[in-house]
Chains A and B, each alone.
Chain A
């Protein structure tokens, strides 16, 4: 194996990981942009999507179970918002964050209970797990598919935010919550829509992630969730393209660190990056300068 092939192989892995983080990170960044809430339960929504697929596909064919998984995840995401976040809209930010932590705790414990705590094998989706050889590089379809699909979805999302009415409403709400309300925007619908999009993308991410790493456990969402959040902060929270760039940067760097043999620091690196960004450029790469509300 020559050097070039080696680097390409490592880069491909990094891109795949980055793509998975990106899809999760969008959910974080959009929710934060609108509610100013770090949705700690988002990683667990991603985990739940994995389990939905595991249990659905046990009894149903793929063309039923896959859409159903996406739908159930979206329902779960919106339900979490309605039940755990909406009643606290007027409460201090700390309360709503604690509520998010509580939801995360609940989802993990419920998953542990329901599955008996054993790792579950993820169903195989035909074709995308197959091995493909390009030149000297051997890899699987999923590795190539993930970054491409991620970019396609992100472009779609950016269009949605830029050119549709819903998107305009979202931008308005994220700019100024109260004024937007006064202007007649139905805040609750916009927020629900945010959670629909976030959860949908988390579900897509879970399909891509678990097709590559086909073992679902109750706590699997925690780390990817945190890293995706860091990606969102790095890119400038509230900014969708920023989150995507951040996610790819983290995915690739993490892989380089692992390849160099410093496995222990692959997670820590993410957080070092987070703290550096927070200290030197709290608005992130693409974040808008926001006025600090006191």
Chain B
């Protein structure tokens, strides 16, 4: 066993090392390298996946509304930060829109979360009374309603209707999404480990028992939903920054499914699982499996099946395997911690007689 203090120090050192490594990479590699695409998108998806996991994994609320919250966050951020002088060209079908100010990036990011959280709160009022699959389908429905509202022509002067929003400030360093996502995930972790978090888990494990213990079901569920929406909103804003543009029609239920699959691969109820799965998912889909899409000829022999689209087929087959045969995902509901690695290595290398016994 390690002392808490030692653990925090190691964690801090690791995080600093990670950030330094990213900084180092940015100095060495060209800015357009695929590595940065993977790292940035991976960091953003980590945050979104963890926010969904908070609902699905820790509170047991099967929600499929994440794309809607991301949409709200992304749009809030974009609408509030487009510089006034660019508005005429962005809102070209709506005479420059009705907003003529631009907020600083951190404020807009925070507001993206707040507005998304507000939507979460309002949606929670009716839907949290529903259970399991009905809840899932109702949240999915709300996500679609949000998408329709944003695309509505009448709101065009604010939302630009269903047209693209662009020209808002974006980040140029990979450190930015890492730091923002990292902070957000840290807050989620604190929440999970607080008494609220224990209440969430109690609700997940047995609603009736939790209620009998005096946990206010509705209040806690609402809290989980609002928190999840808040961070999904920030994630959406980061995604908009990453893409340098945002359009409502991209935030379909297919996007939620993708995030849900990430959570499942990582392990429902594991924060680190979601993070690892996010990076794996993005790295595979953007980078490592790309070769499957290109026709390949080895020694005059054309490799069968390889053509555009094959990557996604292989990918979905892998996902089905995980879902069917490896239902716990990469991490199950455990966490990847320094403690665990320490124990692992101690068992391996620093074994004393006593520990060798426990090691079967």
Contacts and interface: CB of A to CB of B under 8 A. Distances in A.
A and B touch in the complex (CB under 8 A): yes
B309 A267 contact: no
Q: How many A residues touch the partner, as a band?
A: 35 or more
A106 B316 contact: yes
A222 to B, nearest CB: 7
Main secondary structure of the interface of B (DSSP, over half): helix
Contacts of B133: 36-38, 93, 97
A156 to B, nearest CB: 29
A264 B162 contact: yes
A109 B132 contact: no
Interface stretch (B4-12, B39-47, B140-148, B272-280): B140-148
Interface stretch (A53-61, A126-134, A273-281): A273-281
Contacts of A239: none
Main secondary structure of the interface of A (DSSP, over half): helix
Interface residues of B, number: 50
A109 B316 contact: yes
A291 to B, nearest CB: 13
Nearest to B151: A264
Contacts of B140: 226, 271
B1 interface: no
B261 interface: yes
Interface in B89-148: 126-127, 129-134, 136-138, 140-142, 144-145, 147-148
A268 B143 CA distance: 9
B152 A264 contact: yes
B253 A98 contact: no
A233 B320 contact: no
Of listed B141, B264, B315, residue having the most chain A CB within 10 A:
B141
A104 B307 CA distance: 21
A192 interface: no
B132 A93 contact: yes
B253 A294 contact: no
A152 interface: no
A67 interface: no
A264 B132 contact: no
Contacts of B253: 222, 226
Nearest to B312: A109
Given A38-B137, A117-B309, A264-B162, A94 B327 contact: no
A103 interface: yes
Given A94-B132, A105-B316, A117-B308, A88 B324 contact: yes
A264 B138 CA distance: 19
B329 to A, nearest CB: 10
A113 B134 contact: no
A109 B138 contact: no
A292 interface: yes
A221 to B, nearest CB: 12
A94 B208 CA distance: 19
A104 B147 CA distance: 22
B323 interface: yes
A110 B313 contact: yes
Interface in B12-62: 56, 62
Contacts of A268: 144-145, 147-149
A102 B318 CA distance: 10
A278 B153 contact: no
B196 interface: no
Contacts of A103: 320
A84 interface: yes
B144 A267 contact: yes
Nearest to A114: B309
A10 B132 CA distance: 38
5 contacts: A103-B320, A113-B312, A267-B144, A268-B149, A278-B134
Given A101-B257, A109-B316, A278-B138, 19 more contacts: A36-B133, A37-B133, A84-B323, A91-B327, A98-B264, A99-B324, A104-B257, A109-B312, A113-B312, A116-B309, A222-B252, A222-B253, A264-B152, A274-B137, A275-B127, A275-B138, A275-B145, A278-B134, A278-B137
Interface of A: 36-38, 83-84, 87-88, 91, 93-95, 97-99, 101-106, 109-110, 112-114, 116-117, 219, 222, 226, 229-230, 233, 264-265, 267-268, 270-272, 274-275, 278-279, 282, 292, 294
